[in-house]
Structure 1
Amino acid sequence: MQFPMRKEQEQGVCHSTVFEKLFKQHSQDLHDFLYYKYGDRDNPADLVQEAFMKLWDNCHKVLPEKARGFLFTVVNNQMLNVLDRKKTALKYQHEPQQHFTNESPEYLIEETEYLEQLEGAIASLTPEQREAFLLFRIEGKKQKEIAELLGISQKAVEKRIAKAHKHLKTILVNF
Protein backbone atom coordinates (compact mmCIF):
# COMPACT_ATOMS: atom_id res chain seq x y z
CA MET A 1 0.00 0.00 0.00
CA GLN A 2 1.39 3.36 -0.99
CA PHE A 3 0.91 6.39 1.11
CA PRO A 4 -0.12 9.60 -0.57
CA MET A 5 2.84 11.97 -0.86
CA ARG A 6 2.54 15.38 0.59
CA LYS A 7 2.89 18.28 -1.80
CA GLU A 8 6.19 19.35 -0.15
CA GLN A 9 7.77 15.96 -0.75
CA GLU A 10 6.63 15.89 -4.37
CA GLN A 11 8.44 19.15 -5.11
CA GLY A 12 11.54 18.01 -3.23
CA VAL A 13 14.31 20.45 -2.42
CA CYS A 14 12.65 23.17 -4.53
CA HIS A 15 9.87 23.58 -2.02
CA SER A 16 10.74 26.46 0.30
CA THR A 17 9.87 24.64 3.52
CA VAL A 18 12.01 21.62 2.57
CA PHE A 19 14.89 23.88 1.56
CA GLU A 20 14.60 25.90 4.78
CA LYS A 21 14.57 22.70 6.82
CA LEU A 22 17.70 21.48 5.02
CA PHE A 23 19.39 24.80 5.68
CA LYS A 24 18.60 24.68 9.39
CA GLN A 25 19.71 21.04 9.63
CA HIS A 26 22.98 21.25 7.73
CA SER A 27 24.34 24.80 7.66
CA GLN A 28 26.07 24.58 11.04
CA ASP A 29 27.48 21.13 10.25
CA LEU A 30 28.86 22.39 6.95
CA HIS A 31 30.42 25.40 8.63
CA ASP A 32 32.00 23.26 11.34
CA PHE A 33 33.28 20.77 8.76
CA LEU A 34 35.05 23.53 6.83
CA TYR A 35 36.32 25.22 9.97
CA TYR A 36 37.76 22.06 11.47
CA LYS A 37 39.24 20.79 8.22
CA TYR A 38 40.62 24.03 6.75
CA GLY A 39 40.50 26.67 9.49
CA ASP A 40 38.88 30.08 9.52
CA ARG A 41 41.12 31.80 6.98
CA ASP A 42 38.81 31.38 4.00
CA ASN A 43 35.54 32.30 5.69
CA PRO A 44 33.61 29.04 5.76
CA ALA A 45 30.28 30.87 6.23
CA ASP A 46 30.54 32.31 2.70
CA LEU A 47 31.23 28.89 1.22
CA VAL A 48 28.25 27.43 3.07
CA GLN A 49 26.02 30.14 1.58
CA GLU A 50 27.40 29.43 -1.89
CA ALA A 51 26.76 25.71 -1.43
CA PHE A 52 23.13 26.36 -0.58
CA MET A 53 22.80 28.64 -3.59
CA LYS A 54 24.17 25.82 -5.74
CA LEU A 55 21.68 23.44 -4.11
CA TRP A 56 18.86 25.84 -4.95
CA ASP A 57 20.07 26.12 -8.55
CA ASN A 58 20.02 22.31 -8.79
CA CYS A 59 16.97 21.69 -6.62
CA HIS A 60 15.15 19.71 -9.33
CA LYS A 61 18.07 17.30 -9.65
CA VAL A 62 18.75 16.67 -5.94
CA LEU A 63 16.51 14.53 -3.79
CA PRO A 64 16.00 15.71 -0.20
CA GLU A 65 17.62 12.55 1.18
CA LYS A 66 20.72 13.18 -1.00
CA ALA A 67 20.98 16.90 -0.20
CA ARG A 68 23.38 16.45 2.73
CA GLY A 69 25.92 14.56 0.63
CA PHE A 70 25.51 17.07 -2.19
CA LEU A 71 26.16 20.00 0.16
CA PHE A 72 29.24 18.44 1.76
CA THR A 73 30.68 17.60 -1.66
CA VAL A 74 30.05 21.14 -2.90
CA VAL A 75 31.64 22.90 0.10
CA ASN A 76 34.65 20.60 0.05
CA ASN A 77 35.17 21.19 -3.69
CA GLN A 78 34.73 24.94 -3.24
CA MET A 79 37.35 25.02 -0.51
CA LEU A 80 39.76 22.94 -2.59
CA ASN A 81 39.28 25.39 -5.47
CA VAL A 82 39.99 28.35 -3.17
CA LEU A 83 43.14 26.68 -1.86
CA ASP A 84 44.26 25.76 -5.38
CA ARG A 85 43.83 29.37 -6.57
CA LYS A 86 45.82 30.61 -3.57
CA LYS A 87 48.54 28.06 -4.22
CA THR A 88 48.76 29.13 -7.86
CA ALA A 89 48.88 32.81 -6.91
CA LEU A 90 51.58 32.12 -4.36
CA LYS A 91 53.61 30.19 -6.93
CA TYR A 92 53.56 33.07 -9.39
CA GLN A 93 54.15 35.62 -6.67
CA HIS A 94 57.61 34.19 -5.99
CA GLU A 95 58.64 33.85 -9.64
CA PRO A 96 60.68 36.75 -10.98
CA GLN A 97 58.64 38.94 -13.25
CA GLN A 98 59.81 38.99 -16.83
CA HIS A 99 59.47 42.29 -18.59
CA PHE A 100 58.95 42.06 -22.29
CA THR A 101 58.77 44.92 -24.69
CA ASN A 102 57.96 45.27 -28.34
CA GLU A 103 60.68 47.87 -28.73
CA SER A 104 63.78 47.05 -30.69
CA PRO A 105 67.09 46.82 -28.83
CA GLU A 106 68.37 49.81 -30.80
CA TYR A 107 65.43 51.90 -29.67
CA LEU A 108 65.96 50.90 -26.03
CA ILE A 109 69.64 51.83 -26.22
CA GLU A 110 68.80 55.19 -27.82
CA GLU A 111 66.17 55.81 -25.17
CA THR A 112 68.66 55.09 -22.39
CA GLU A 113 71.26 57.35 -24.02
CA TYR A 114 68.69 60.12 -24.44
CA LEU A 115 67.62 59.92 -20.79
CA GLU A 116 71.26 60.08 -19.67
CA GLN A 117 71.90 63.10 -21.90
CA LEU A 118 68.68 64.77 -20.74
CA GLU A 119 69.62 64.30 -17.08
CA GLY A 120 73.08 65.71 -17.80
CA ALA A 121 71.60 68.63 -19.69
CA ILE A 122 69.17 69.43 -16.88
CA ALA A 123 72.02 69.18 -14.38
CA SER A 124 74.00 71.70 -16.44
CA LEU A 125 71.29 74.36 -16.11
CA THR A 126 71.76 77.11 -13.58
CA PRO A 127 70.01 76.34 -10.28
CA GLU A 128 67.41 79.05 -10.97
CA GLN A 129 66.69 77.76 -14.49
CA ARG A 130 66.57 74.13 -13.32
CA GLU A 131 64.16 74.96 -10.51
CA ALA A 132 61.78 76.93 -12.76
CA PHE A 133 62.02 74.38 -15.58
CA LEU A 134 61.32 71.36 -13.36
CA LEU A 135 58.43 73.07 -11.60
CA PHE A 136 56.97 73.97 -14.99
CA ARG A 137 57.58 70.72 -16.94
CA ILE A 138 57.67 68.02 -14.29
CA GLU A 139 55.36 69.36 -11.59
CA GLY A 140 53.01 70.94 -14.16
CA LYS A 141 52.74 74.22 -12.28
CA LYS A 142 51.70 77.40 -14.04
CA GLN A 143 54.14 80.26 -14.39
CA LYS A 144 52.11 82.38 -12.00
CA GLU A 145 52.25 79.63 -9.34
CA ILE A 146 56.01 79.27 -9.82
CA ALA A 147 56.45 83.03 -9.44
CA GLU A 148 54.54 82.97 -6.15
CA LEU A 149 56.49 79.92 -4.93
CA LEU A 150 59.88 81.43 -5.73
CA GLY A 151 58.98 84.97 -4.73
CA ILE A 152 59.87 86.44 -8.15
CA SER A 153 57.92 88.06 -10.96
CA GLN A 154 56.10 86.05 -13.57
CA LYS A 155 58.30 87.65 -16.24
CA ALA A 156 61.42 86.33 -14.47
CA VAL A 157 59.91 82.84 -14.47
CA GLU A 158 59.19 83.11 -18.20
CA LYS A 159 62.80 84.14 -18.88
CA ARG A 160 64.24 81.30 -16.79
CA ILE A 161 62.09 78.71 -18.53
CA ALA A 162 62.87 80.14 -21.99
CA LYS A 163 66.63 80.13 -21.26
CA ALA A 164 66.37 76.55 -19.96
CA HIS A 165 64.59 75.45 -23.15
CA LYS A 166 67.16 77.16 -25.34
CA HIS A 167 70.05 75.56 -23.40
CA LEU A 168 68.45 72.09 -23.56
CA LYS A 169 67.84 72.43 -27.33
CA THR A 170 71.47 73.16 -27.99
CA ILE A 171 72.69 70.22 -25.90
CA LEU A 172 70.09 67.76 -27.17
CA VAL A 173 70.33 68.79 -30.83
CA ASN A 174 70.98 65.19 -31.98
CA PHE A 175 67.78 63.93 -30.36
Structure 2
Amino acid sequence: MFVAMETKKTICKPKVFNEVYEEHSKSLYNFMYYKCGDRDLAEDMVQESFVKLWENCAKVFFSKAKSFLFTVANNMFLNHVAHKKIVLKHASEGQKNYTHETPEYLIEEQEFLKKLKGAIADLPDKQREVFLLNRIDKKKYKEIAEMLGISVKAVEKRMSLALKSLRAKIGSNFK
Protein backbone atom coordinates (compact mmCIF):
# COMPACT_ATOMS: atom_id res chain seq x y z
CA MET A 1 0.00 0.00 0.00
CA PHE A 2 2.87 2.39 0.78
CA VAL A 3 4.38 1.82 -2.68
CA ALA A 4 1.04 2.61 -4.32
CA MET A 5 0.80 5.87 -2.37
CA GLU A 6 4.42 6.72 -3.21
CA THR A 7 3.85 6.47 -6.94
CA LYS A 8 0.82 8.78 -6.72
CA LYS A 9 2.81 11.58 -5.09
CA THR A 10 4.57 12.96 -8.14
CA ILE A 11 7.06 15.80 -8.05
CA CYS A 12 5.64 17.08 -11.34
CA LYS A 13 2.77 18.68 -9.43
CA PRO A 14 3.73 22.26 -8.46
CA LYS A 15 2.36 21.86 -4.93
CA VAL A 16 4.49 18.75 -4.31
CA PHE A 17 7.53 20.36 -5.94
CA ASN A 18 7.14 23.40 -3.67
CA GLU A 19 6.90 21.05 -0.69
CA VAL A 20 10.20 19.42 -1.70
CA TYR A 21 11.76 22.87 -2.18
CA GLU A 22 10.64 24.10 1.22
CA GLU A 23 11.85 20.94 2.93
CA HIS A 24 15.29 20.62 1.32
CA SER A 25 16.47 23.97 -0.08
CA LYS A 26 18.03 25.30 3.14
CA SER A 27 19.98 22.15 3.98
CA LEU A 28 21.07 21.80 0.34
CA TYR A 29 22.26 25.42 0.36
CA ASN A 30 24.22 24.87 3.59
CA PHE A 31 25.73 21.67 2.20
CA MET A 32 26.87 23.46 -0.95
CA TYR A 33 28.12 26.50 0.94
CA TYR A 34 30.26 24.29 3.16
CA LYS A 35 31.68 22.58 0.11
CA CYS A 36 32.51 25.70 -1.92
CA GLY A 37 32.66 28.56 0.60
CA ASP A 38 30.91 30.93 -1.82
CA ARG A 39 27.35 32.03 -1.03
CA ASP A 40 26.47 33.03 -4.59
CA LEU A 41 27.88 29.86 -6.11
CA ALA A 42 26.08 27.74 -3.51
CA GLU A 43 22.78 29.50 -4.27
CA ASP A 44 23.31 29.03 -8.02
CA MET A 45 23.99 25.32 -7.59
CA VAL A 46 20.90 24.89 -5.40
CA GLN A 47 18.71 26.61 -7.96
CA GLU A 48 20.20 24.59 -10.81
CA SER A 49 19.63 21.38 -8.84
CA PHE A 50 15.95 22.20 -8.45
CA VAL A 51 15.72 23.04 -12.16
CA LYS A 52 17.15 19.61 -12.96
CA LEU A 53 14.70 18.02 -10.52
CA TRP A 54 11.81 19.76 -12.28
CA GLU A 55 13.12 18.69 -15.70
CA ASN A 56 13.32 15.08 -14.46
CA CYS A 57 10.26 15.13 -12.20
CA ALA A 58 8.60 12.22 -14.01
CA LYS A 59 11.66 10.03 -13.40
CA VAL A 60 12.26 10.86 -9.71
CA PHE A 61 10.14 9.37 -6.94
CA PHE A 62 9.13 11.68 -4.12
CA SER A 63 11.09 9.60 -1.60
CA LYS A 64 14.27 9.94 -3.71
CA ALA A 65 14.03 13.70 -4.31
CA LYS A 66 16.47 14.64 -1.53
CA SER A 67 19.05 12.14 -2.71
CA PHE A 68 18.63 13.33 -6.31
CA LEU A 69 19.11 16.98 -5.31
CA PHE A 70 22.23 16.36 -3.22
CA THR A 71 23.76 14.14 -5.91
CA VAL A 72 23.11 16.67 -8.68
CA ALA A 73 24.48 19.55 -6.58
CA ASN A 74 27.57 17.57 -5.55
CA ASN A 75 28.27 16.62 -9.19
CA MET A 76 27.90 20.27 -10.21
CA PHE A 77 30.40 21.24 -7.56
CA LEU A 78 32.89 18.60 -8.70
CA ASN A 79 32.56 19.82 -12.30
CA HIS A 80 33.04 23.40 -11.13
CA VAL A 81 36.23 22.48 -9.23
CA ALA A 82 37.62 20.59 -12.23
CA HIS A 83 36.94 23.58 -14.47
CA LYS A 84 38.47 25.98 -11.96
CA LYS A 85 41.66 23.89 -11.76
CA ILE A 86 42.05 24.07 -15.54
CA VAL A 87 41.47 27.84 -15.56
CA LEU A 88 43.98 28.35 -12.73
CA LYS A 89 46.56 26.17 -14.43
CA HIS A 90 46.37 28.20 -17.63
CA ALA A 91 46.30 31.52 -15.77
CA SER A 92 49.35 30.68 -13.65
CA GLU A 93 51.51 29.62 -16.59
CA GLY A 94 52.08 33.20 -17.72
CA GLN A 95 52.18 34.98 -14.36
CA LYS A 96 54.94 35.55 -11.83
CA ASN A 97 54.35 34.51 -8.26
CA TYR A 98 54.25 37.32 -5.72
CA THR A 99 54.16 36.95 -1.98
CA HIS A 100 52.18 39.25 0.28
CA GLU A 101 53.19 39.54 3.87
CA THR A 102 50.48 39.97 6.47
CA PRO A 103 50.80 42.49 9.34
CA GLU A 104 52.05 41.00 12.56
CA TYR A 105 50.19 43.43 14.84
CA LEU A 106 46.82 41.81 15.40
CA ILE A 107 44.84 41.67 18.60
CA GLU A 108 44.56 38.30 20.30
CA GLU A 109 40.97 37.64 19.20
CA GLN A 110 41.76 38.38 15.56
CA GLU A 111 44.76 36.08 15.72
CA PHE A 112 42.67 33.25 17.14
CA LEU A 113 39.89 33.69 14.54
CA LYS A 114 42.44 33.79 11.76
CA LYS A 115 44.12 30.69 13.16
CA LEU A 116 40.76 28.91 13.47
CA LYS A 117 39.64 29.80 9.96
CA GLY A 118 42.99 28.72 8.60
CA ALA A 119 42.91 25.45 10.47
CA ILE A 120 39.39 24.70 9.21
CA ALA A 121 40.37 25.65 5.67
CA ASP A 122 43.41 23.36 5.90
CA LEU A 123 41.30 20.36 6.77
CA PRO A 124 40.89 17.86 3.95
CA ASP A 125 37.62 18.51 2.07
CA LYS A 126 35.78 15.49 3.50
CA GLN A 127 36.75 16.28 7.09
CA ARG A 128 35.90 19.99 6.72
CA GLU A 129 32.54 19.13 5.19
CA VAL A 130 31.59 16.79 8.09
CA PHE A 131 32.92 19.21 10.72
CA LEU A 132 30.94 22.19 9.36
CA LEU A 133 27.75 20.19 8.85
CA ASN A 134 27.92 19.00 12.45
CA ARG A 135 29.19 22.08 14.26
CA ILE A 136 27.64 24.90 12.22
CA ASP A 137 24.54 23.31 10.72
CA LYS A 138 23.91 21.17 13.83
CA LYS A 139 23.37 18.01 11.77
CA LYS A 140 23.56 14.67 13.54
CA TYR A 141 26.04 12.07 12.32
CA LYS A 142 23.21 9.96 10.89
CA GLU A 143 21.88 12.93 8.86
CA ILE A 144 25.36 13.72 7.57
CA ALA A 145 25.87 10.08 6.59
CA GLU A 146 22.62 10.12 4.60
CA MET A 147 23.50 13.42 2.91
CA LEU A 148 26.94 12.22 1.87
CA GLY A 149 25.98 8.62 1.12
CA ILE A 150 28.48 7.18 3.61
CA SER A 151 28.24 5.18 6.84
CA VAL A 152 27.86 6.75 10.28
CA LYS A 153 31.21 5.18 11.19
CA ALA A 154 32.83 7.05 8.28
CA VAL A 155 31.31 10.29 9.56
CA GLU A 156 32.63 9.56 13.07
CA LYS A 157 36.10 8.84 11.69
CA ARG A 158 36.17 12.06 9.62
CA MET A 159 34.97 14.11 12.60
CA SER A 160 37.55 12.51 14.88
CA LEU A 161 40.35 13.26 12.42
CA ALA A 162 39.10 16.84 11.94
CA LEU A 163 39.02 17.49 15.69
CA LYS A 164 42.46 15.93 16.15
CA SER A 165 43.89 18.15 13.42
CA LEU A 166 42.21 21.28 14.80
CA ARG A 167 43.48 20.52 18.33
CA ALA A 168 47.01 20.13 16.98
CA LYS A 169 46.88 23.49 15.18
CA ILE A 170 44.88 25.55 17.68
CA GLY A 171 45.51 23.94 21.02
CA SER A 172 44.13 21.29 23.31
CA ASN A 173 41.26 23.50 24.54
CA PHE A 174 39.42 23.06 21.24
CA LYS A 175 36.41 20.72 21.62
Q: Using structure 2 for the length normalisation, give the TM-score.
A: 0.49
**Structure showing greater relative contact order (alpha-carbon pairs closer than 8 Å, 6 or more residues apart):** 2
Q: TM-score, normalised by structure 1?
A: 0.49
Which has the greater radius of gyration?
A: 1
